[in-house]
Amino acid sequence: MKAYRLLTEEDNSAFCHKVTEALSKGWALYGDPAYAFDAASGKMRCAQAVVKDAEGDYAQGVKLGEL
């Protein structure tokens, strides 16, 4: 199956660590990162999609972060 995740975080080093961890576990970047202003918190937020080929078939309860 092809797995998809959208990683999000405030625009800080935690976002970079989150993406780096996913890449180290075999995920690949999918598209460009996105940035948006979160008016509720007054901070910028980042998003990056990642994909990974994984064994087996998709099931609703699969924990994508554990692939």
Contact between 13 and 7 under an 8 Å Cβ cutoff? The reply is: no
Number of domains in the chain: 1
In a domain, 49, yes or no: yes
In a domain, 10, yes or no: yes
Domain range holding 41? 2-56
Cα gap 59→41, rounded to integer Å? 34
In a domain, 16, yes or no: yes
In a domain, 65, yes or no: no
In a domain, 67, yes or no: no
pLDDT by position in tens, the chain (length 67): 999 999 999 999 999 999 999 999 999 999 999 999 999 999 999 999 999 999 888 888 888 888 8
pLDDT of residue 30: 98
